[in-house]
Amino acid sequence: MTPNQYTPEEPISSIATALAPAALGIVRVSGKGCIELVSRVFSRPKALLEAPGNTLVYGWIIDCPVRTDKDKSHPELVSGSILEKPRNKFGVTDDIKIDEVMLAVYRAPKSFTGEDMVEIFCHGGPAVVMAIQNLMLKIGFRQANRGEYTFRAFINGKTDLTKAEAIKEIIDSHTDVSRSHAAGRLAGSLFEEIDSIKKLIVDTLAVIEVEIEYPEDEETIADSFDRKDIETALKRLQALKDSWRGEKLYQDGARVVLAGRTNAGKSSLFNAILKEERAIVSDIEGTTRDWLESWASINGIPVRLFDTAGLRQTSDVIEAQGVEISRSLVQDADVVLYLVDSQTGLNYEDRDFIENCKEPLIVVYTKADKDGGVVRSLARTIEFPSETRGEITGVLGAEPLGEGVASNEVRARGSLSPLYCKISSKTGEGLSDLFEKIYGILTAGIAGSSTERTQAGLGSARQKEAVSAALESVQHALVSADDNFTLDAVVQDLEDALDALGEVTGDVTPDDVLGSIFANFCVGK
């Protein structure tokens, strides 16, 4: 959708809830004349037509012949009933009751879209919801496009783009932390931060414009205005830009792959993290031949968790394919958990994998609840390249690492030192330590990675690009002032910064960008 495609005279309808058995289903309509249209198939049309905004009306949705003033053969619906219902040749009325409903009535401009709206609350069976939606299309509504309700809200000034994008973020969130970050943007935290930065720039521009109109004998251009506000704006823009990496992590999540030999405990750990029996656990080697995937939360970070086939040489064609898939998943992982049975310890295949793994790696000794075991320091059992051996020994030492060290010990991808952890999937021992290490790897180098929000964060790559452009323009304005450029050059840089920030909130966003944003929404929102 683009502003040129927006036609408020064209009423729209869509199903706003999932098509699955549920207690409640919602069909949402919006646009000019939508209340009048719904009244044609409602058992209490007068009550609906006279209902004030933000009220509920009880009745039935009825599939009946559409009555108009031009159709004199059928009396109008009045006072919540049909005075004389049309009958077929068998003497039976043509009306078909679809469902008992509550109608939420919203009148412009006090609605989500800024237009007249009705939300039909019905029973949540797919057949019921589809019947009502099909009836809406039959009586004159058009099927809404993806994100069209939010788009109409944006066009009608009911929301800005930061809040609009936050709606999709909330719908797509996988953890409470990612949801809370999106809720902050929906509440206006990012808009307020952008607006505050824009004010700093506008105030500086006002001072410069006065200086241009009424110049004084200043030694340099930099002396012509106070740089304090612009320098403050620069710092806040940099903080916003830096926030995107962390926000992207909480939105998109990370890939955590469980790898290791057969019977190392991968499926058991998979189930323990999910807190449900998703993967089959067996003492038979090669039980897991394919891979399983599920979303999980690691200290508030959404992760796509992969349980993979055991890494070993096998003559079984199907299992061999599973092993190859496992190796491919490892190469795309953000964190690899390499599991080792603490009862048997490391063998040559384990050491070869750990030494050659290029992804962030945590070696997890499993079955800590069992007696005995041969858990040893990796630094003493693996021959790493000479240039990293001393570093690894210093990291691992002879004892398991404590909590919270991961973020301090993570190296750049391709030269990572493995971390060490001992767990029991059966008792839960060591899982919190494992989660801390995963969290440390994923948040290493991310500014403000704490789950507690102290400032607004960016919610999309589009916002990040616009803020980066604004940051560059402000930086150039300060350089221009320092290099004694004309004040007009400084003004142009600052105006460019304002235009870039306007793209974040939607003040100057091109139509094609708007179309791309709302095309990714779900239908009904």
Q: What is the pLDDT of residue 115?
A: 95
Query: Is 453 exposed, middle or buried, given 0-12, 13-18 or 19+ CB atoms closer than 10 A?
Result: middle
Examine the pLDDT at 391 and tell me if it is beyond 60. no
DSSP lists the bridge partners of residue 97 as 62
**Same fold? 3-160, 255-428:** no
Task: Enter the tokens of residue 400.
Answer: 């398991």
Count other Cβ atoms within 10 Å, centred on residue 399.
Answer: 8
pLDDT in tens, 501-514: 999 998 876 676 67
The answer to whether the beta carbons of residues 460 and 165 sit under 8 Å apart is yes
CATH classification (class only), 3-160: alpha beta
pLDDT band at 316 (very low <50, low <70, confident <90, very high): low
Q: Is 277 helix (H, G, I), strand (E, B) or coil?
A: coil
Examine the pLDDT at 154 and tell me if it is beyond 80. yes
Q: What is the pLDDT of residue 447?
A: 58
11 cis-preceded (ω within 30 degrees of 0): no
pLDDT in tens, 41-96: 999 999 999 999 999 999 999 987 544 444 444 344 333 333 344 545 444 455 68
Count other Cβ atoms within 10 Å, centred on residue 214.
Answer: 7
For residues 378 and 374, the model is more confident at: 374
Domain locations in the chain? 3-160, 171-247+456-505, 255-428
Closest to 235 in 3D by CA, of 224, 227, 247: 227
The answer to whether the beta carbons of residues 168 and 520 sit under 8 Å apart is yes
Q: What is the pLDDT of residue 356?
A: 85
Segments in 40-175 forming alpha helices (H): 45-50, 126-138, 148-155, 161-172
- CATH for 255-428 is 3.40.50.300
pLDDT band at 113 (very low <50, low <70, confident <90, very high): very high
CATH 3.40.50.1580 fits 171-247+456-505, yes or no: no
Query: In percent, how much of the chain has pLDDT > 70?
Result: 72
pLDDT in tens, 333-342: 899 999 998 8
pLDDT band at 367 (very low <50, low <70, confident <90, very high): confident
pLDDT band at 434 (very low <50, low <70, confident <90, very high): very high
Helix (H) or strand (E) holding 185: helix 176-186
